Amino acid sequence: METVSPEFVRAAPRLDGMVVSAVGYRTSGEQPGLHRGLPSPYLTLIFSLDGPVATGHSPEQATGPDATRTDIVLGGLHQAPAFVVRPEHEAGIQLAVHPLAARALFGVPASELAGDLVTPGAEVMGRRAADVRELLCEQNGWEQRFASLSAYLRRRAAEAGADADAAGAVRPEVAEAWAWLARHQGIGTLRGLSRHVALSERRLTTLFRAETGLSPKQAGRLMRFQRARNAVVRSVAAGAAPDLARVAADCGYYDHSHLVRDFRQYTGVSPSGWLAEECRNIQAGSHGGGEG
């Protein structure tokens, strides 16, 4: 595990690829404000250890009476940022979960989490999730917390495997379509993908959306943007100004303007505007894994 200050601790999930990254975080003495939770090709699961997390589609909603407030945050695949209230102090564990693991870990396909920006996790995962959160709050060290959370998720996956009919199974064509998109880093045509999995474009899109909540094209765009954002983050973390034209070319964008378009869609601001907001967090290591 690696710790930086403000405290961000990363752990290897060791959950057979179901969890892509796991980060424990703790900050204090921060200036209260808002954080943009960006869309990604992964589901978000947060166990807060320091009070409810307040989120919304806009800054006004996140800070108003209509905000979603929950101790366990479960977020589906989205194409616009979530605004998250950043209090003076906060702590928790955030996981990036593979969307095709939703049935095993949550008992529902990822598409059922796409309707709302955030779903209270206990509503989907049950009372046991709330009990696990209380246990995590009582534990003192990150290593112990990660072990407890991993054990809990492993049990859920094992129970889902023993009762596969309850949540159903991911169709192999959809699993292969996701793997193909990931191998191609979000670049490729729907025609090429549909030929690869031996389904018509319409049938593939229907099945893919029913499982994930997104079309293959939308998922590919998220993968490509994630790669571009990670490249930008690495440049800033290394103390260099990111070369957006180079990032665009390396990540398969037609040109620099198309990368800027995706930044505006997925963050709500320009690349420079997002970096101005996140520079301190990047330097502190909160974006080190590229997830979340």
What is the per-residue pLDDT for 289? 45
Which domain does 259 fall in, by range? Answer: 171-292
Residues 204 and 161 in one domain: no
Last residue of a domain, one of 165, 189, 214: 165
Residue with more model confidence, 169 or 291:
169
Tens digits of per-residue pLDDT, 101-139?
999 999 999 999 998 889 999 999 999 999 999 999 999
9-13, 120-124, 151-155: least confident range: 9-13
d(CA 97, CA 21): 7
Same domain? For 135 and 205 the reply is no
The pLDDT assigned to 116 comes to 86
Residues 69 and 181 in one domain: no
* Last residue of one domain, picked from the residues 131, 165, 199: 165
Same domain, 92 and 217: no
At which of 99, 134, 165 does a domain end? 165
Mean pLDDT, residues 49-61:
95
CA torsion 232-236-238-242 (nearest 10°) is 50
- The pLDDT tens digits for 226-242 are 999 999 988 888 888 88
Q: What is the CATH number of the domain that holds 192?
A: 1.10.10.60
Check pLDDT > 60 for residue 225.
Answer: yes
Residues 36 and 120 in one domain: yes
Residues 219 and 149 occupy one common structural domain: no
**In terms of domains, do 194 and 154 share one?**
no
Same domain assignment for residues 182 and 233: yes
The predicted structure's pLDDT at residue 290? 43
pLDDT tens profile 59-117: 999 999 999 999 999 999 999 999 999 999 999 999 999 999 999 999 999 999 998 88
Helices 201-212 and 172-183, axial angle in degrees (round to 10):
90
Distance CA 281, CA 292 (A): 12
Number of domains into which the chain is organized? 2
Check whether residue 115 and residue 239 sit in a common domain.
no
* pLDDT of the residue at 274: 87
Alpha carbon distance 168, 161 (integer Å): 10
The CATH number given to whatever domain includes residue 147 is 2.60.120.10
